[in-house]
Amino acid sequence: MKKHIYIYTLCLTVLFSGLSFAQQTPAPKQSQAISIVGATAHIGNGQVIENATVVFENGKIVRVGASATTQTSGTVIDAKGKHVYPGFIAPNSTLGLVEVDAVRATRDQSETGSFNPHIRSLIAYNTESKVVESCRPNGILTAQITPRGGRVSGTSSIVQLDAWNWEDAAVKVDDGIHMNWPNNFSRGRWWLGEPRGLTPNKNYAKQVQTIKDGFNEVLSYLKGSKSPKHLPFEAMESLMNGSQTLFVHVNTEKGILDAIDFAKQNKLKLVIVGGYHAHKVATTLSQNNIPVLLHRTHSVPNMDDEDYDLSYKKAKILTDAGVLVGLENSGQMERMNTRNLPFLAGTVAAHGMDKEKALQLITSNTAKILGVDDRLGTLEAGKDATLFISEGDALDMRGNILTHAFIQGRTLSLETHQTRLWKRYMDKYDGK
């Protein structure tokens, strides 16, 4: 009996000690107006206001303008010499869907099967994630939570990164369905005796035809009696009527062109995700008003004959061609690397793009692509007060030092597991 009591006590101790490291309590609702005075305001649409005043109350921005002509209200924050930005938006992210890659029980970013339009990433989103918490001190305050795997992965949603649960987190529910387009090249599987390197995918045409046949089945079902009930087909209805977006994850030139033709034939609202070779078809993308969520800027070229800095300047090439571009950070260790999103934009700015245009790649452009530009992406009256104050240039890791951050007007804590460890060990060394 004593042994059982000891084990029970030990389990409770471990449980509550673990809870002590959970994400901090979400901030309470904004109770009074707040005015940020004296900062350089980066509006997010290319405009900059020196010595600006930003006023927000009840979770919404009410006034933005020069301090000399803009009336303050409520609590005044003196931000002279600092910078204020709209909160950064991380699209195509698996934040909150995986906590520890090596622990299977914490991985919930994909489902079995290849056709899962009815799978909703939102209900798997973990608001207690320490990885999510670590993004806020760099200004990432909103994310598109996106499923992975299969041909049709499922449905994404837009969330804010300070919430009790997924219901509280939701900004836009089920914004789009994600599809992984077939690759027209395949990499040889040496362990099966196949040639090394890239070779044409002999099954490409068949795989594309399978997609087309599947969508024709969906259309027939939706136009018919809908009996017997088919949940994956039911989940496609909003996509087919234009109220949802089809996010096609594709990188090759031919794949992008084929995806465009497919979307046009089915009258679908299309966004290209990844788009490694999007710059080669920039004119076609521009002519068809198709946005691109561009692959990770901090990556090396895939081909030997490509410029070493191609990834750095690709966003400018597309933007100059008239394509609406946002930056996404999928790839190796993508959740932990989400905190580097502002520096992806900073690298683009360092390679030819105007800095305020580079800022748009992670604010207003992304908000437009995700369909939340009525609420997020710029510092404008009527939009959510989701913004932050930085000591310096937020696109530069040397200046990205946040002093305040707000989501829907709520004052956030910028403490994380990492900052607590930093302070703990700084105390140790300072004490020597």
Which tens digit of pLDDT belongs to each residue from 347-397?
999 999 999 999 999 999 999 999 999 999 999 999 999 999 999 999 999
Q: What three-state secondary structure class fits 48?
A: strand
Domain-by-domain residue ranges, the chain? 88-376
What separation in angstroms does the CA of 384 have from each of 56, 171, 270, 376?
A: 9, 11, 26, 6
Displacement of CA 12 from its chain's centroid (Å): 36
Buried b (16+ CB within 10 A) or exposed e, 127-157: bebebbbbbbbbbbbbbbbbbbbbbbbbbbb
| pLDDT over 70 percentage in the chain | 94
What per-residue confidence (pLDDT) applies to 13? Answer: 46
Indicate the pLDDT class of residue 302, thresholds 50, 70 and 90.
Answer: confident
Fold of the domain built from segment(s) 88-376:
TIM Barrel (3.20.20)
For the record, the structure tokens of 426 come out as 């700084």
Residue pLDDT, tens place only, 193-246: 777 777 888 999 999 999 999 999 999 999 998 989 999 999 999 999 999 999
State how far the Cα of 35 lies from the Cα of 148, in Å rounded to an integer. 41
Q: Is the pLDDT of residue 293 over 80?
A: yes
Question: pTM for the full model?
Answer: 0.92
Query: What integer is the mean pLDDT of 173-183?
Result: 97
What per-residue confidence (pLDDT) applies to 419? Answer: 85
State how far the Cα of 345 lies from the Cα of 340, in Å rounded to an integer. 9
β-sheet bridge partners, residue 84: 41, 389
What per-residue confidence (pLDDT) applies to 14? Answer: 43
